[in-house]
Amino acid sequence: MSSIASVKGTVSFSQGPEPKNLIQRERDAATFDLNEMNYFLEGSKERAMETRLFISQFERDPVMAASPKDYDATKAEHRAITIQKIDRLSRYIEVETFDRLERRLSIVSVFDPSFHTRLGVHLGLFLGCIRGNGTADQMQYWLLKKEAAYVKNLYGCFGMTELAHGSNVAGLETTATFNEEDDEFIINTPHLGATKWWIGGAAHSATHCCVYARLIVKGKDYGVKTFVVPLRDADHNLMPGITIGDIGAKMGRDGIDNGWIQFSNVKIPRFFMLQKYCKVSSDGEVTEPPLNQLSYSALLLGRVIMVKDAFRWSARMVTIALRYAVGRTQFKAALAKESDPESQLLNYPLHQRRLIPLLALTYAFSNGANVLQETSTATMDELDDAVSSEDKQALDASVEKMKSLFIASGSLKSTCTWLTLNTIDQCRQACGGHGYSAYSGFGKAFNDFAVQCTWEGDNNILGMSVGKQLIKKFAAVKKGEKATGILDFLGGYEKLAGTNPVLEAKDLKEPKKILFAIEVALVRACIRADQILESKNGDTDFIGAELVTLSKLLAHFFLLKAFLDKIEATKDQPNLVAVLDLLAQLYGATVILEGFSGTFLTFSVTTTEAIAHNSTEHIAELCSKIRPHVIPLTDSFMMSDMMINAPIGYYDGNIYENYMRTVQENNPAKNHKAPYSAALEAMLNRSSLAERQRFEREEEAEEILSN
Amino acid sequence: MSSIASVKGTVSFSQGPEPKNLIQRERDAATFDLNEMNYFLEGSKERAMETRLFISQFERDPVMAASPKDYDATKAEHRAITIQKIDRLSRYIEVETFDRLERRLSIVSVFDPSFHTRLGVHLGLFLGCIRGNGTADQMQYWLLKKEAAYVKNLYGCFGMTELAHGSNVAGLETTATFNEEDDEFIINTPHLGATKWWIGGAAHSATHCCVYARLIVKGKDYGVKTFVVPLRDADHNLMPGITIGDIGAKMGRDGIDNGWIQFSNVKIPRFFMLQKYCKVSSDGEVTEPPLNQLSYSALLLGRVIMVKDAFRWSARMVTIALRYAVGRTQFKAALAKESDPESQLLNYPLHQRRLIPLLALTYAFSNGANVLQETSTATMDELDDAVSSEDKQALDASVEKMKSLFIASGSLKSTCTWLTLNTIDQCRQACGGHGYSAYSGFGKAFNDFAVQCTWEGDNNILGMSVGKQLIKKFAAVKKGEKATGILDFLGGYEKLAGTNPVLEAKDLKEPKKILFAIEVALVRACIRADQILESKNGDTDFIGAELVTLSKLLAHFFLLKAFLDKIEATKDQPNLVAVLDLLAQLYGATVILEGFSGTFLTFSVTTTEAIAHNSTEHIAELCSKIRPHVIPLTDSFMMSDMMINAPIGYYDGNIYENYMRTVQENNPAKNHKAPYSAALEAMLNRSSLAERQRFEREEEAEEILSN
């Protein structure tokens, strides 16, 4: 035993590692104002202060706050706790405006995604469906008169997907047959495949469901419409003809009671049909919607939230991994002297290259999410105004904007959720073994987040749909149509086409040139996709992979543009801009240029020299320039420890003590014999093999038996 | 309600989807013999039949068989069940040879990784450490006399990693101080950071631990050696000075009781030190080992198993995703007629492109794993012989082979585990929403497998280490040293250098040319790494990313070579070869050529035309050619339903009925009120806001209070 024993809280016989000092040293050396950087990320000082207020209310509330105890909760416990949280939050909802509530909820997702989604199914999807598809009176009735908007009296779920139909909403098979005699609809599940499946809230919570079903009137199928169908009565017992089951264990989101629903001749009054766009009269006359596609607008809000999620989740993950990488030491540098201490993980160029680009990406997410949210709110408001004023011209203009928004949000939702899922796992791997501890947060985050790549538009299907719209728009532009909004660069397609490289090694330090290179890549990829399409008789299925690539490039165009615009708007703060410019460069150099090097080279957008210089020099140089700012840059996210919820990533940087404390609190060490220990001990202390074989295989037996 | 009602087992009012017919149709059209293909995958008919025998014994055993119930087990239940399984398997171990046991265990991993690892910690790591570091007598004593080899009397754990030290084994801080007076070692944990951490089996099971600790004799530190330290007595109570805690919740592998251990002046007899290579005499004289690096050979076996795991896990995952993709229909093809049915998922070119390359990769894994296993067994046997015969020349030769094996196994372990983790999540995403159900197997597989990217050599650290050895070898070859084994192509480096493209579009159909292209890429990447290194004063940290790329390329070289060699050896079976050749081409075109397009283009190994042709034509063409063989190719893995353990991927293809049955069995639908329903109902049925505010904010109060 070492001769130097010390007692500082606990006994120690030699000096252990002190990660908190390493982190604090870098925190002290910040070159910019963290509050100002936080305003940049949140969009404005006002939003930033509001976010902090929300966080303080959550973290001070013992019911709603996240804690490491969550990582040891069973599925049954998660579900019960989630209802307590919703109950608590419903008291806020009663006294808050809808806009503010939406922003408050966007914070919830990152520290308790099950809580967020279970409530979101009711507030966002169920009520969103009524808002989107119901008349003003129907909305008034269900949301306000029945008080559903305050999570009161009724709890809704969203009955879209079926066992055999997910993304293809138009192919759903549940039927709503009009019965003129009784002035009612009969809802029915015709076969197992049409069972409503994955319905969040159905298993235990929901009293009502917005059911997507085929409207059948006088034998004619009018396609899929929406109906409010009561599932449970005021005593929470199932209505006649309703069968509901629990969908059971999932990869993540344990707090949500997803269920399946079968309808066996369930009768609802005619006026339970949501009839903003489609009406059925008492004598069976059907008035069809002028704008069919708008009836899925409930999903738009989900996309906006998911892009914001990409920012907050990534911020949380990179904060944990980077604090750990600064506090943890491992091996010595290759050129270290014998007497040098072990090196901080983040001083290794490879480790910088694994994590710092993810930090840059997170910064790019922040403004992309803000811009998408603002555009979305403005466009939805405009559309609502146009619909209620019945102004045809305004309606057309809004619909055009809505289409643009669907393209942008589709490309961003799919691209950002994919990137975030990757970020979560890369951050986990960067924390080595400790990344695998549930208490480091990555495992639950991955499991909870993974569904976002599939939800509300599977990423590949969304990506293909965006790509298709892009090449359609490109074809129209070639025929003289004007390109607007985010796609206005298509107008100059003739100058961007060809095989002329537009990005050389010397241009890499100018993110605007990378932005331009994406425009060029998009145009050339559109042209190429067109050519293939022509050779395949217009079979868009054949260019699925190309379409998804187009969608990803478009998302990066949006993100990089939003990032650069915001940096431009911040130019009066040189201390911020100095670092932000490096981050924009790095985002361009890694996620975009390196990530799409095959595409950029195939279309000669750039040169092999530029790609080689980028990968062997430029990226490493940028990483090493950003390296000293990493702690201030992650501190600027202003994630409190409650939001971080991972002891290896807490603010104070006291990694090992925090981690050990959590492990001990959740698993008291005095329980060192397992509840099943008797079985284990019986195995180890079993009698000899010969004895257990009743000596039947021993020599004596052989002698007797072989006589 | 539809007029066509039918009763076939259950009532159905119209025809639902029948995925099983779609799958059976393709099964009937197989163009090759599935048994022969299975022998190809397993290496030989003998191995294949043995594998089936093992599987039958597991699946017929109600204790050891996996089932969908596993997905609903809590951590506590998992741990208890795992011990029952080990107890059951220990009866096989008593009567089986070690080689056979090893192959039997390699099957366990894919259907119950916790079971595999919890037992593997004892059999593989603890006993492996004694075999690797103990004398023949020590091995005889612990393994046979004490019967540890039969999981009897004692249960071992492997005390290597510490809270503050993982990969850097030489930096571990636990001390083993020799006390000459009592002829014993004193094991001590000097501070929190040196707490043994992540120790599988420690929390509940282990009676003994192979502790990695610094040998201190007469004040001198001899570096890290291994010691057998008893943790619990025969009554399973902790020994004096031993503190053990449960490490708690992890991302996966719930069945393993990982723990932490602190030693406070724990005394063990001198002869508990494992002394094959390093001895301490009773008067404190230390004999140092001639071959220090060999003492970590316990880890080699783990690498071999993990490459085999990559094959089996990938086989399981792609079987589930591909059966689902064949049985599931969704949307209609882009050029479909109105009357056409919905299209099978796998008929979409994008879906083919997402999954079929993973199938090709799995086929490549199979032979790579077999070759690595054979080489490893042969080399270890040779080394053991050389050590026991004390033949210096044979020892040198063995050590040289061992070094090659460390390079190959390091590159394969890191590359294959990364690729498999990706395969698991890609397969999940390809199953859309149903991929997120726990019962589809992907979530648990991802969580359980993820640790393999970190275990027994973090992939990045392993990759860097392989890359370093490669450029070291390259430098030696340039100075005239002979390159042998897998690296023999380095000998011709002068012809491979330069900037001459060696792979053009027309060559893509010849996988041998891709193999050659990898050689060229490796040589040119070595040269480039050398140049950077020179400009950075030999700072290998700076080229970390390049080193990892070298390691990945080397792994693909190994895998593709093994695959092509085996195809060559199968040439008398043209029906097999026809399909295998397509798979080899596709593996080359996607995982290798597309995956490393940046590297291949940067070093001019290939042309942009070839890359463009590959990505827009060649890959799609290969996928469509392999498409009809997908069901027979997955059937050839011969994974029984017990191994698959995912109703959407069972053999009969009855996707929806199997899935619904599992959901209902695990979550009886009659429980439609949650245990916590009262809290939920109280929230919904709460009194009005005004009432709960005691009417303090109503007009009457305002009147009174403002008077």
- Catalytic residue chosen out of the listed positions A184, A456, A519, A546: A456
The pLDDT confidence band at residue A1, using thresholds 50, 70 and 90, is very low
What's the average model confidence in pLDDT over A646-670?
A: 96
**Helix, strand, or coil (residue A147):** coil
Q: Domain B156-295 class? A: mainly beta
Sort out which chain A residues have CB atoms less than 8 A from B436's CB and list them: 250-252, 450-451, 454
**Helix, strand, or coil (residue B478):** helix
Residue A126 has pLDDT above 70, yes or no: yes
Reported as type and span, the H/E element at residue B350 is helix B349-389
**What are the residue ranges spanned by the domains of chain B?**
48-150, 156-295, 298-638
Mean pLDDT (chain B) is: 94
* Distances B184 to A2, A368, B429 between C-alpha atoms, Å: 17, 65, 57
CB contact under 8 A, A251 and B689: no
Reported as type and span, the H/E element at residue A228 is strand A220-230
Angle at A315 (CA atoms; ends A309, A321), nearest 5 degrees? 135
Model confidence over A240-257: pLDDT tens digits? 999 999 999 999 999 999
Sort out which chain A residues have CB atoms less than 8 A from B243's CB and list them: 669
Q: Of the candidates B587, B684, B689, B690, which has an alpha carbon nearest to the alpha carbon of residue B633?
A: B587
Phi and psi, residue B500, nearest 5°: -85, 120
Structure tokens at B116: 């595999």
What's the average model confidence in pLDDT over B9-23?
A: 89
CB contact under 8 A, A604 and B608: yes
Model confidence over A380-421: pLDDT tens digits? 888 888 878 888 888 888 888 888 888 999 999 999 999 999
What's the confidence (pLDDT) of residue B222? 95
Residue A2 has pLDDT above 50, yes or no: no
Angstrom distance (rounded) from CA A229 to CA A265: 12
What is the identity of the amino acid at A86?
A: I
Q: Which residue of A has its CA nearest to B607?
A: A602
Angstrom distance (rounded) from CA A467 to CA A554: 9
Say what angle helices A392-430 and A459-478 make with each other, to 10 degrees.
Answer: 130
Model confidence over B553-605: pLDDT tens digits? 999 999 999 999 999 999 999 999 999 999 999 999 999 999 999 899 989 99
What's the average model confidence in pLDDT over B326-339?
A: 92
**DSSP, res A571:** T
What's the average model confidence in pLDDT over B410-434?
A: 97
Q: Which residue of A has its CA nearest to B188?
A: A1
Q: CB-side exposure of B274: number of CA atoms within 13 Å?
A: 26
Percent of chain B topping pLDDT 90: 85
In A453-582, DSSP assigns E strands to none
Sort out which chain A residues have CB atoms less than 8 A from B333's CB and list them: 539, 541
Residue A105: CB atoms within 10 Å: 19
Angle at B387 (CA atoms; ends B382, B392), nearest 5 degrees? 95
What's the confidence (pLDDT) of residue A483? 85
Has A200 been labeled as part of a binding site? yes
Angstrom distance (rounded) from CA A659 to CA B193: 11
What's the confidence (pLDDT) of residue B290? 63
What's the average model confidence in pLDDT over B148-158?
A: 97
Sort out which chain A residues have CB atoms less than 8 A from B89's CB and list them: none
Angstrom distance (rounded) from CA B599 to CA B115: 40
Sort out which chain A residues have CB atoms less than 8 A from B689's CB and list them: 94-95, 150
Active site residue A510: no
CB contact under 8 A, B350 and A464: yes
Phi and psi, residue A680, nearest 5°: -65, -45
Model confidence over A331-350: pLDDT tens digits? 999 899 988 999 999 999 99
Sort out which chain A residues have CB atoms less than 8 A from B447's CB and list them: 443, 447
DSSP3 helix / strand / coil % (chain A, rounded to 5): 60, 10, 30
Name the minimum distance, in Å, from the CA of B64 to any CA of chain A: 15
- In this prediction the pTM is 0.96
Has A432 been labeled as part of a binding site? no
CB contact under 8 A, A190 and B257: no
Q: Which residue numbers of B are catalytic? A: 456
Structure tokens at A196: 């409503």
Structure tokens at A184: 């009612």
Name the minimum distance, in Å, from the CA of A388 to any CA of chain B: 31
Name the minimum distance, in Å, from the CA of A367 to any CA of chain B: 28
Residue A570: CB atoms within 10 Å: 16
Reported as type and span, the H/E element at residue A420 is helix A392-430
Angstrom distance (rounded) from CA A615 to CA A601: 14
Phi and psi, residue B590, nearest 5°: -100, -70
Say which CATH architecture domain B48-150 belongs to: Orthogonal Bundle (1.10)
CB contact under 8 A, A672 and B598: no
What's the confidence (pLDDT) of residue A295? 52
Residue B172 has pLDDT above 70, yes or no: yes
**Cβ pair A643, A55 in contact under 8 A:** yes
Q: Which residue of A has its CA nearest to B331?
A: A168
Angstrom distance (rounded) from CA B84 to CA A148: 50
Domain A298-638 has CATH 1.20.140.10: yes
Model confidence over A531-574: pLDDT tens digits? 999 999 999 999 999 999 999 999 999 999 999 999 999 999 99
Mean pLDDT (chain A) is: 94
Angle at A456 (CA atoms; ends A454, A458), nearest 5 degrees? 35
Sort out which chain B residues have CB atoms less than 8 A from A335's CB and list them: 537-539, 541
CB contact under 8 A, B460 and A608: no
The pLDDT confidence band at residue B1, using thresholds 50, 70 and 90, is very low
What's the confidence (pLDDT) of residue B295? 52
Residue B652 has pLDDT above 70, yes or no: yes
What's the confidence (pLDDT) of residue A293? 52
The pLDDT confidence band at residue B387, using thresholds 50, 70 and 90, is confident
Model confidence over A46-99: pLDDT tens digits? 999 999 999 999 999 999 999 999 999 999 999 999 999 999 999 999 999 988
| In the block, residue with structure tokens 């406070």 | B264
Residue B194 has pLDDT above 90, yes or no: yes
CB contact under 8 A, A432 and B446: no
Phi and psi, residue B188, nearest 5°: -145, 145
Model confidence over A269-314: pLDDT tens digits? 999 999 988 999 999 999 986 655 555 566 788 899 999 999 999 9
Angstrom distance (rounded) from CA A41 to CA A566: 10
Name the minimum distance, in Å, from the CA of B130 to any CA of chain A: 19
Which among B188, B333, B459 has the least Cβ separation from residue A13? B188
Largest CA distance in chain A: 107
Mutate to test the interface with A, among B7, B119, B541, B667 (most CBs of A within 10 A): B541
The DSSP string of A328-346 is -B-S--TT--TTSPPPBGG
* Distances B460 to A429, A439, B402, B423 between C-alpha atoms, Å: 9, 23, 21, 19
End-to-end alpha-carbon separation of chain A, Å? 66
Angstrom distance (rounded) from CA B259 to CA B266: 18
Mutate to test the interface with B, among A126, A684, A689, A696 (most CBs of B within 10 A): A684
Highest mean pLDDT among A375-379, B124-128, B168-172, B514-518: B514-518
Which among B443, B546, B616 has the least Cβ separation from residue A251? B443
CB contact under 8 A, B544 and A350: yes
Say what angle helices B544-569 and B349-389 make with each other, to 10 degrees.
Answer: 90
Structure tokens at A383: 């559309």
| In the block, residue with structure tokens 């990409």 | A310
What's the average model confidence in pLDDT over A605-621?
A: 94
Strands A6-8 and B10-12: unpaired
CB contact under 8 A, A443 and B447: yes
Angstrom distance (rounded) from CA B437 to CA B432: 10
Residues β-bridged to residue A158: A210
What is the identity of the amino acid at A31?
A: T
Which among B155, B249, B681 has the least Cβ separation from residue A236? B681
Residue B2 has pLDDT above 50, yes or no: no
Structure tokens at A270: 């005619």
What's the confidence (pLDDT) of residue B62? 94
CB contact under 8 A, B168 and A252: no
**Cβ pair B185, B177 in contact under 8 A:** yes
Which among B14, B334, B598 has the least Cβ separation from residue A597? B598
Name the minimum distance, in Å, from the CA of B48 to any CA of chain A: 30
Angstrom distance (rounded) from CA A534 to CA B67: 50
Sort out which chain B residues have CB atoms less than 8 A from A677's CB and list them: 204, 236
Which among A249, A667, A677 has the least Cβ separation from residue B71? A249
Residue B289 has pLDDT above 80, yes or no: no
CB contact under 8 A, A601 and B608: yes
What residues have CB less than 8 Å from B292, skipping those under 6 apart? B277
Angstrom distance (rounded) from CA B119 to CA A210: 50
Q: Which residue of B has its CA nearest to A179?
A: B1
CB contact under 8 A, B429 and A454: yes
Angstrom distance (rounded) from CA B586 to CA B621: 10
Angstrom distance (rounded) from CA B328 to CA A383: 37
Name the minimum distance, in Å, from the CA of A636 to any CA of chain B: 27
Which among A16, A348, A548 has the least Cβ separation from residue B541? A348
- Count, residues in chain A: 707
User: Rounded to an integer, what is the distance from CA B561 to the centroid of its chain?
Assistant: 21
What is the identity of the amino acid at A131?
A: R
**Cβ pair B678, A258 in contact under 8 A:** no
What's the confidence (pLDDT) of residue B617? 93
What's the confidence (pLDDT) of residue B486? 82
| In the block, residue with structure tokens 């050990």 | A660
Name the minimum distance, in Å, from the CA of B533 to any CA of chain A: 11
Instruction: Give per-residue burial for A493-522: e unless 16+ CB within 10 Å, then b.
Output: beebeeeebbbebebbbebebbbbbbbbbb
Sort out which chain B residues have CB atoms less than 8 A from A543's CB and list them: 349
